Every structure is written in C-alpha cells, then in structure tokens.
Structure 1
Amino acid sequence: MAEQRRRARRGAATALATLLAAGVLVACDGQEDPTPAPTPTPRPPAETIELTFGAYGSEAEVEAFRGVVDTYNDSLEGVEVTLEAFPDAEALAQEVRDGDTPPDVFLLSRADLDETIAAGRSTPLGELVDERGVDFGDGYSRDSVLAFAADGDQQCMPYGSSPMVVYYNTALVDFERMAERGLDAPVPDEETGDIERFTFDQFRAAAQFASRPRRGTKGVYVEPTLRGLAPFVYSGGGQLFDDNGEPTSLAFSSDDTREALAPTLELLRDPAVTLTDEQLAEATPLEWFARGRLAMVPGFRSATPALREQEGLDFDVLPMPVIDDAVTTGDLTGLCISSETGAQAAAADFLVYLVSAEAVSRVSAQGYLVPANLEVASSADFQQPGQLPEHAQVFTDSIDDLLLLPLIESYADLEQAVRAPLRQLFTTPVPDVEALTTQIDEQSRTVLDPEGLESESPSDEASEDAGDEASETP
C-alpha cells in the first residue's frame, strides 16, 4: 500500500513537471505562440486516513495515551488517530472480538490472545514491523516476544509486563533489627543495597516480626485465589495445572503441589500474622497496607501511584519469596492491529510509534507500567529515582522469573468454580488437605474440561465404584 502511494506521488510529480514545461514553450520562426495549456483543475487534498486506538488503564494512563496520540497527530499530515478508552482489559478485548468496528490498533492482555486469534481479529505483524525496522533482538526480552507469537508469526508487539512482587512497609519490616535479634533476614548487596533473593523462611520471619497485637499490625496477607497461590506453588516445585499447554484440570492433588502448599498454608492460616475476616470486611488488604497496619502484601506495579499518595507510608518492594526456585506470575500486554482495519500500513506506522522509547516513556512516567521496551525499563522514566519504591528494579528483575500461565478461556470462571474449597484451605484451622485439593481439581474440570465430564456416564462411574469396593473386600 505504501509503495503504491509512493508510485502515485512520483507519477503526479512527473505529470506536473510536463505541464509546467509545456506552459513555458515559445514558438519559433515567427509563429504565434501556441494556445496556453489549460490550467489544471485544482484537486482536493487526499482524504485523511482515520484510525482508532483502543486502550485501557487508570485515568493518568489514559491521559498519557491521549498525549501520545495528540503528539502523533500533530507531527503527521494525512492521518488522524482517535483514542477510544475502555474501563478495563476485558471490556476492550470483548469489543475487539465481538464489536462491529473494533479499534484499528489496540492494547491486549496476553490472557485474551488465544480468543482474539480464534475470532480472526488480529493481523500478523511479522512483515509489517520488519519493514519498519523494529528491533526485536536487543529491544525486548525473548520471552516477551514469544508470549505474543502464535501460528508461526508475531501477533502483537510486547508493550508492558506485570510481575507480582512483595510490597513491604519498611517501618514494620526492619531487616537490620531482625538481624540484630538473630532472626533470618536478607542481606542487601553492599554496593547497590539490592536484595536479590528473598527466601520463604525470611518471608515467614518478617511476617512474624511485624505482627504486633499491641500496635494492631499484621505481618502478611495473600489472597486465597489461584493467582495468589500460584507463585508459591511453582516456587515449591508444584504445578497449578495438569498440562501447561492444554489443561483439563488443576493439579492441587498432586504430591508435588501438596508438598509446596504445606509451608505456605501453615503461614497464611496463622491468625496471629494475617488479616481476619472481620478486618477484610472493613477494608481491602491494600487499604490496610496503605494505613500502615499490614506489613507485606503481594501486588503489581499498578499499585505504586496510589501508595505514593499515602502520607507517612514508607514502602519498598521485594521479589516473591523463594521456596526452591525463584518464580513469579503475572500478565503481559501487547499492541495489536485489527484484521478489520482498512488502513493496515497507517496502523502499522502508528503501532511502531507507540512502541518507540519516546512514546513508552511518556506512559511509563505515570508510574503504573513496567515497560517491555528494555531501553525504557532501565531509564529514569521508569526507575524514577527519588520516588518510592526505592528499588524499582525489582519489577524489571522479576520479569526474568515470570512464569506465564496457560491461556484458557476464562480465569474468572475458573476462580469462581474453586473458590469455596480454596478458601477453606486458608481459613480452616486443621483442614483435610487431601480432600480439599481433590475437590479443587474435580471442580476445576467444570471449566477446563466440561466435555470430558459429560462423557463420563453415571453407569461408568457406578461400575468403577463397584470395582473399587470389590477390590477392598477381603
């Protein structure tokens, strides 16, 4: 398309030069001047290409996106981009999949990638970005690039990363004082002050140290969800799913996962160190943390701007606790081009601008985004020295330990299906772990493998039960 436009422009320029030359010719040998060439009829300027850009985020992020769009529009004639803001990732993904006029360029959570591709709503980007000189090799981590690759092509450009880390109150969790008391505390690097490894034993010691009944403080809260437990399960050598490619069940009843859950649940069930139901009914864990009454809470970069606004709150971040291996979970976002766009070349030009260091820095400076662009991730626009958290590089370092969960149709449905037994693991003083983990796996199949459940006829199950009873009969 771009080459056709260039050829058209060259052709128009040649024709105009010929007309100008003809207009200044004079007759020779006394002949009268020829009739002047007619003046070309003025043509209206080429129609402006109109594009839409679908994005979501906080008000500050949306305003940053709007500024990026305005800058692009001001710098280029013939293209007009309009920002379409959506309340969240799910709303935008649904518009892309089901809307009559999806945005030409859109932000997409990796969790929605499979459904978007299945609906035929994304344009493969390989050739489009190659033609525009986008550098995958040095500009992005290999994992972030592969996360948005499918069907032998790049489906979206990596844009943001969101690894889970531990936010901690530096007044309640004082590692120097812990060390002085002989408690297990991480030792910062002498030169950088960084804490590169935070073991589960240190995590437990910090939670117990910060829990002070007289001061009304608790040590830690981890939400009783799959997302909350995932880093601990994988770090301890367990698995969340029976298959990471095409899961048909959760894997909580496996020996490895039960073993990984043991130390985690022992700590998170302790009412002396974690929030009670009454406290959770009063405020969210992040609100308790902001009040200075909760010492540690796992979270994402998006929580940073709001925490900075809390007067008197001093906080920093640590990597997720390590049981056996360093593992965290989270989400990635990418920028994609709609298969429905009528201006693919213009959309590709705009996408390349969106992933440039200039544009990403502008959004990253708001404090919510962990950029996939490695140049910006190491810059002051993201690290933001002089602002909390002091060790923002924990976010970028944690990307190396980010384990991407399988792409399934709806994590919300899966969380709901196993919510009750999962919560019992956290709240029952002495739970029947074997029974509850088995129940979790069975109920997960209603979402992950409903067809398999339907194919298991009652008569088959009755036969299996009868066989089991027979084998137990002396």
Structure 2
Amino acid sequence: DAFTWHDELMCVPQNISSLVVYYNQDLFDMAGLPYPPDRWAWADFVATAVALTQDFDGDGRIDQYGLGVEPSLFRLAPFVWQNGGLVVDDEISPTRLTLTRPPSLQALQWFTDLHNVHRVVPGRVEEAAQDSESRFLAGTTAMYLNSRRGVPTYREIENFTWDVAPLPIGKTAAGILHSDAYCLSATAVDKEAAWTFIEFANSIAGQTIIAGSGRTVPSLKAVAESEAFLDPTQPPGRAQLFIDNADIMRRVPVISTWQEIENIADEEIERAFYGDITAEEAARLAFLRSEEYFFRGETAVTNAKAHE
C-alpha cells in the first residue's frame, strides 16, 4: 500500500524496517540494569533512560545520556498510535493532522517530557554540538531510536557491545513502516534494461546481496527468514525483532503533499521538544500551518482522477 497510487502499484518494494531501540549493553551492565525485555511499558522505558543518564564528575553537565531520539513526527507517530490516537483524521484520505485530539496530544506530551521533564536526551545546543547517533557511536548515549538502516554503521563499533530491543508499548503495540522501493520511470531511456535490473534486485539472489549489507530487511520472506539476514555471527543478536515487528507496523498517509506536512509538524514538535512552546501549542500550530497542504494534496488527487 505504501507504493500504491490510485489503486495502481507504482514501485516494487525492496525492503521493510521498523523503529527499534538500539542499546549499549556495556552501559546497561555498568549500571546494573537488565537488558530491555521483549515487552516493556512507557514507564519502564523512561525509568531506564533516567537511570542511564549520568553526570559522573558532578560538574552539572550530563556526561552520559540515557536516550537519543530525533524530535520528529516520524519518531512520534508510533507512540501516538500506541496511545490509541491518530496522526491524521483519515489514513486513506486525510484532511488534517489530529495531534490536538486527547490521545494524540497525550503521546506528544509524553514524548516532549523526555527532554523537558526527565532530561534523558540532549538539549538543542548539545545535539547541535554532537548529534545523538554520534553520541551512541561514541558510547556516551545508552539507547538510540532508529530503523534498520543504522546496522552497517553500528557493526563497525569496536569499543562496546550493542543489540536491539522493541519500542516500549503503550495501550497497544504499534510501529512505523520504513521502506524503500524500485521505481521505473515512464521516461527511462532503456526500460527493458531497467526492468531486468529490478527483477534481479528483487530476486532471491539480489535480495541476498542486500541482506548481506545489514542495512534493510529484505522484502522476500524467504530471504528475510534465512541466515543471509538473521546472521548469527553479526549483531544485532535479536535481528528476528525486525521481522516480528512487521505485524504491528503502520504507515504514514500516501498524499502528494505529505513531505510539506511532515516538515511543518517536525518544526513544531521540535520547538515543543526543546521547551520553546507547549505540546498543546505545537499540536495546534502544526494543525493550522499544515491545513492548506492537505487541501492542495487532495486537489492534486482529484485532478489526477479527473484526467484518468
């Protein structure tokens, strides 16, 4: 569905991935904490992040953060869904953002509290100086939220052991779909050659090559469930998690103006995350500022249908 437009499949899916918690096992060990379980609650997640956030030398500056997360709609969305909320009013034909509705706003408040209340993530200045992924790689951030794309980089880590854990669960389990696809342009110079490549890339042989990179979860189940992907000789040890998460993944809407809508939401979420405005104000502004882009997107779809 993520690559379908007007009931037509536009691209051939190459992979899927879900958002997971990457964690530094050594830092958990030093703190005397158990590794994240297969199922944990929001409160457990926050308590763990708090315990792992440390000012070792007592100078008032945090030396080790418990968590790193991008303050964006894509990172927030799973928690909105977990709380019984919606990101948009209609996931098939959206007309507005719905972060102002109570379940969604509660999730946004919880998300922004990670910085504003619990102080388990770097502030804006600290993040600008060294982003959270770099801190995770350096061993100074204990947990980091990311998709499968981080694995090739993290496999280069030599100074600590790491693994993955599921997102904490709210009222229900939910994740967000990360996916890429192969698309063949109608104006391609050599369509036959391009299609030959796509056929190979999405064959068992091609998908096995992709699996070997570690970056993605192959779209072919036969490859995803093989040792080509579930390689026991390389981290993460809990690679099966990426496959198991497929059943709970949801996607953002397919609308022509989604990038503009997401950019606006990201701006307001970031402002709330770093304490410039309240979560309620961020939700309201995201709704108001994005409204015209839903209209434009709907018009584009309507016009496209009119010309079919």
* Residue 253 (structure 1) aligns with: 100
CA deviation after TM superposition for structure 1 residue 340, in Å = 4.1
Q: Tell me the SS of whatever aligns to 1:253.
A: coil
Q: Tell me the SS of whatever aligns to 2:26.
A: coil
* Residue 75 (structure 1) aligns with: none
| Residue number among 228, 231, 237 corresponding to 1:390 in the alignment | 237
Judge conservation of contact 1:170–1:316 (CA < 8 Å) in 2: yes
Whole-Å Cα distance in 2 between the matches of residues 358 and 328 of structure 1? 29
Whole-Å Cα distance in 2 between the matches of residues 345 and 419 of structure 1? 40
CA deviation after TM superposition for structure 1 residue 344, in Å = 6.1
* Residue 270 (structure 2) aligns with: 423
1:16-415 aligned within 5 A: 146-174=1-29, 177-178=32-33, 186-187=36-37, 195=38, 197-214=39-56, 216-270=63-117, 272-340=119-187, 348-415=195-262
Alpha-carbon spacing, 1:165–1:175, altered in 2? closer, same or farther (3 Å): farther
Whole-Å Cα distance in 2 between the matches of residues 344 and 395 of structure 1? 33
Whole-Å Cα distance in 2 between the matches of residues 426 and 295 of structure 1? 19
Read off the aligned partner of 2:85 and give its amino acid letter.
Answer: G
Judge conservation of contact 1:208–1:219 (CA < 8 Å) in 2: yes
CA RMSD of aligned residues (A): 2.7
Read off the aligned partner of 1:315 and give its amino acid letter.
Answer: W
Whole-Å Cα distance in 2 between the matches of residues 245 and 175 of structure 1? 47
Q: What fraction of aligned residue pairs are identical, expressed as a percent?
A: 27
* Residue 283 (structure 2) aligns with: 437
Whole-Å Cα distance in 2 between the matches of residues 318 and 445 of structure 1? 36
Q: Tell me the SS of whatever aligns to 2:232.
A: coil
Alpha-carbon spacing, 1:155–1:335, altered in 2? closer, same or farther (3 Å): same
CA deviation after TM superposition for structure 1 residue 263, in Å = 2.9
Aligned residues between the structures: 293
Whole-Å Cα distance in 1 between the matches of residues 282 and 119 of structure 2? 23
Q: Alpha-carbon deviations, 1:405-446, whole Å to 9, x = none?
A: 1012244422432444322321228x5443332122111113
Whole-Å Cα distance in 1 between the matches of residues 242 and 273 of structure 2? 27
Q: Tell me the SS of whatever aligns to 1:353.
A: helix
Read off the aligned partner of 2:100 and give its amino acid letter.
Answer: S
Q: Tell me the SS of whatever aligns to 1:286.
A: helix
For structure 1, the 5+ residue unaligned runs are: 1-145, 180-184, 188-194, 453-474
Read off the aligned partner of 2:22 and give its amino acid letter.
Answer: Y
Q: Tell me the SS of whatever aligns to 1:296.
A: strand
Alpha-carbon spacing, 1:354–1:442, altered in 2? closer, same or farther (3 Å): same
Q: Alpha-carbon deviations, 1:363-391, whole Å to 9, x = none?
A: 22011121011111011111221211111
Q: Alpha-carbon deviations, 1:81-129, whole Å to 9, x = none?
A: xxxxxxxxxxxxxxxxxxxxxxxxxxxxxxxxxxxxxxxxxxxxxxxxx
Q: Tell me the SS of whatever aligns to 1:298.
A: strand
For structure 2, the 5+ residue unaligned runs are: 58-62, 299-308
Alpha-carbon spacing, 1:313–1:225, altered in 2? closer, same or farther (3 Å): same
1:5-24 aligned within 5 A: none
Read off the aligned partner of 2:48 and give its amino acid letter.
Answer: A
Q: Tell me the SS of whatever aligns to 1:297.
A: strand
CA deviation after TM superposition for structure 1 residue 207, in Å = 0.3
Q: Tell me the SS of whatever aligns to 2:151.
A: helix
TM-score, length basis structure 2: 0.84
Judge conservation of contact 1:317–1:389 (CA < 8 Å) in 2: yes
Judge conservation of contact 2:109–2:279 (CA < 8 Å) in 1: no
Which structure is richer in relative contact order (CA contacts within 8 A, separation 6 or more)? 2
* Residue 306 (structure 2) aligns with: none
Read off the aligned partner of 1:408 and give its amino acid letter.
Answer: I
Judge conservation of contact 1:233–1:257 (CA < 8 Å) in 2: yes
Judge conservation of contact 1:198–1:318 (CA < 8 Å) in 2: no
Judge conservation of contact 1:248–1:449 (CA < 8 Å) in 2: yes
